[in-house]
Structure formats: structure tokens, C-alpha cells
Amino acid sequence: MPADEITYDDVELAQHDVLLAEGMPAQRCLDAGDRSTFANTDTPIRLFPDFATHSVDNAQRWKALGCASLVVYGPELEAVRRRVNDMASGVADALTEAA
């Protein structure tokens, strides 16, 4: 289902950790030195952040500081995408039936 806008929310913790979101484990945002991509930062906001690029430095930071593997492609990511899409479809169907 297409969306006009996506909002990312994060829970600020003292350190990187895994939270349950809708019953699914999800990493909270790892501070990778890119706080200027967030609207609620005390630094100047980057107007055109490129969320698609991952530098080697950021990949090393995830490996060293992340509490779970960073998955950006492959069957594990596709399985999670299917699960999220199925959940979204179920919610949409329930809302349609309720209306």
C-alpha cells in the first residue's frame, strides 16, 4: 500500500538495545554519527539526508556496537518485510470491515 509520508520514531536509550515493536524484535537507532538526519537533534538538520548510503565506517560501527546484526538485504530481510506487510494488510482489512 503506497504511503505519502513515513515517520520514523526512536526511543532514546543510554545504549544500543533491542525493543519489541508490535511483538517483533527491533533495534533502536544506533548513533552512527548521523544525528543531523533527525528532526529533534541539537545539531543543524541535514536537509537532504541520504539514508541509502552506508559507509564502511558505519558498517564497522554496527558490527562493534550493535547488539544484533544489521540486515540490509537477503532472505532474512525479505521474511521480515513479508511479516510486516501481512500485519499491515490485516490492519487495513479490519479497518475496512469496521467502516
Q: Give the pLDDT confidence of 9-42 residue by residue, as tens digits.
A: 777 777 778 888 878 787 777 776 666 666 666 7
Is 73's pLDDT higher than 60? Answer: yes
Q: What 8-state DSSP symbol labels residue 35? A: G
Q: Which pLDDT belongs to residue 46?
A: 64
Take residue 61 and report the three cell numbers written for it.
560501527
Residue 50 is predicted with a pLDDT of 62
pTM score = 0.47
Q: Is the pLDDT of residue 88 over 80?
A: yes
Pick from 34, 62, 39: which is nearest to 50 by CA? Answer: 34
* CA-based nearest residue to 38, from 68, 9, 16: 9
Mean pLDDT over 44-53 rounds to 61
Task: Specify whether the CB–CB gap between 30 and 61 falls below 8 A.
Answer: yes
Query: 88, 85, 86, 67: which is closest to 25 by C-alpha?
Result: 67
